[in-house]
Structure 1
Amino acid sequence: MDIQRIAAFSQGSEGGNPAGVVLLPEAVSADEMARVAADVGYSETAFAVAKGNDVKSWRVRYFSPESEVPFCGHATIALGAALGKHNGAGTYTLELNDATITVDAEETPDGMMATLSSPPTRSRAMTDAEEQDVMALFALSPEDLDPRLAPAFIHGGANHAVLPMKDRARLAAMSYDLDDGRNVMRKHDLVTVMLVYIEGDQTFVVRNAFASGGVLEDPATGAAAAAFAGYLRDSQWPHDGSFTIRQGEDMGSPSLIKVSLDDTAGASVRVSGGARDIK
């Protein structure tokens, strides 16, 4: 297999979240994709095969080193960049396991840029059991949380929990046990847990724990960004149609995620970012 290694949501020649991208000439088994993803070792690898002779329409599946993931934002941005380089700028239709989305590829002076349109979004309050387990995982108390947003279960193609943090330093100090995190996330059907610091109405600093996939932390998480956008919309947050997420700073891999949305409840949101090849 020709495995491309691309960092999505990068800032120029730095940062971003590494993803594997495999453009397949024909479909392969789930076991083979899982094996390759484990060998690559990134948080996700995207496998795409063209539908018939249409190079603008692809069947896509995502695998972490330990499991299949229904949707991955950063791997979709990486895939969009790869498709753009391979087949030219434009809009590509991606058929996922549970949804059909698009990704736009655009060549810019700073390299390839991609913008995905997410699956539909939804959110709800966390149950007492979910909140208790997730808070305990990170040794958090109610006093650690920002009262402007409530903890929530959020979805934008995959399930995530979000905890709004009151203090930037507390966010920087995030730590947890990987095995405990895996158990909590799988128990509550969560792909990641998103810890958020509200820097401004349209600027957020984020860390995403991804123990469900065998990865302690993601430096950029597009699927969670999409789900978070839906939650902000459901909460009538003053997003003014767009916002920016900075992620990976505390890992030494600064990443930038730009999100745009309207006020239509549950509607798709657009998540954009740069991409760079990993040498």
Structure 2
Amino acid sequence: MDVQRIAAFSQGSEGGNPAGVVLLQNAASEDEMARVAAEVGYSETAFATEEGDEGKTWRVRYFSPESEVPFCGHATIALGAALGKQNGAGTYTLVLNDATITVDAEATPDGMMATLSSPPTISRAMTEAEARDVLSLFGLTSEDLDPRLPPAYIHGGANHVVLPLKDRARLASMSYDLDKGRSVMREHDLVTVMQVYIEDNQTFVARNAFASGGVVEDPATGAAAAAFAGYLRDSRWPHNGSFIIRQGEDMGSPSLIRVSLDDTKGASVRVSGGARDIK
């Protein structure tokens, strides 16, 4: 298989979250995709098979080194960039396991830019068991949380929980045991745990633990960004229709995620980012 290596949500020639992208002429077996994803070693690899002969509709599956995931934002941005380079700017329809979405590809002076329209969003309060296990995993207590935005279960194509922290230094010190994190996330059917610091109403700094996929941390997580947007909307947060997430700063891979949304509860949100080829 020809694997393209692309960093999504990059800032020019730096940062971003590496993803593998494989454009297939014929569908591959699940075992083959899992094997290739493990060999690539990135947090996710997207496998896309063209449907029809127009090059505008693709069947997409996402694999981490350890498991298949239902939706991955940064790999979708990377896929959009790859499709834009191969087939030109425009809108591509992506048929996922549980949803059908679109990604727009656009050439800019700084390289390819892609914008995905997410699956529907859902949020709810965390259960007692979720809160107990997740807070314990990171050595956090309720005193570490920002009272302006309660911790929550959030969904925008995949399941996450978000922990808003009131101290930027506490976010910077995030650490946990990978094996314990894998157990907690799988027990509660979570793809990532998102920790976030509120810089202002439209600027957030985030870190995303991804033990469920065998990766300690993602430098940029588009699926969690989409889910978080839905949560902000459900919480009537004053987002004014858009916000940015800075991620990866504390791991030396600064990434920038741009999100736009309306006030329609549960509706798709748009997540945008740059992309760069990894040499």
| TM-score normalised per structure 1 | 1.00
Cα offsets for 1:57-104 (capped at 9, x unmatched): 000000000000000000000000000000000000000000000000
Per the alignment, residue 32 of structure 1 pairs with 32
Q: 2:253 corresponds to which letter in structure 1?
A: S
Matched with 1:44 is 44
Partner of 1:234: 234
Structure-2 separation of matches of 1:127 and 1:35: 35
Q: C-alpha separation between the residues in 2 aligned to 1:187 and 1:131?
A: 13
Q: Which residue of 2 aligns with 1:190?
A: 190
Structure 2 residue aligned with 1:15:
15
Q: How does 1:1-279 map to 2 (within 5 A)?
A: 1-279=1-279
One-letter amino acid matched to 1:186: R
Q: Which amino acid aligns with 1:245?
A: I
Find the residue that maps to 2:42 and give its secondary structure. Answer: coil
Per-residue displacement from partner, 1:167-220 (whole Å, max 9, x unpaired)? Answer: 000000000000000000000000000000000000000000000000000000
In the alignment, structure 1 segments of 5+ residues that lack a partner are none
Q: Which amino acid aligns with 2:9?
A: F
- Separation (CA, whole Å) in 2 of partners of 1:170 and 1:217: 16
Secondary structure of 2:143 counterpart: helix
Alpha-carbon shift at residue 54 of structure 1 (Å) = 2.5
CA distance in 2: counterparts of 1:259 and 1:121, whole angstroms: 13
Give the deviation of 1:4 after TM superposition.
Answer: 0.1
Query: Cα offset for 1:53?
Result: 1.1
Q: Structure 1: how far apart are the matches of 2:130 and 2:32?
A: 34
Query: Structure 1 residue runs of 4+, over 3 Å off?
Result: none
User: CA–CA distance in 1 between the matches of 2:190 and 2:97?
Assistant: 17
Cα deviation digits, residues 5-32 of structure 1 (max 9, x gap) = 0000000000000000000010010000
Give the alignment's Cα RMSD to 1 decimal: 0.3
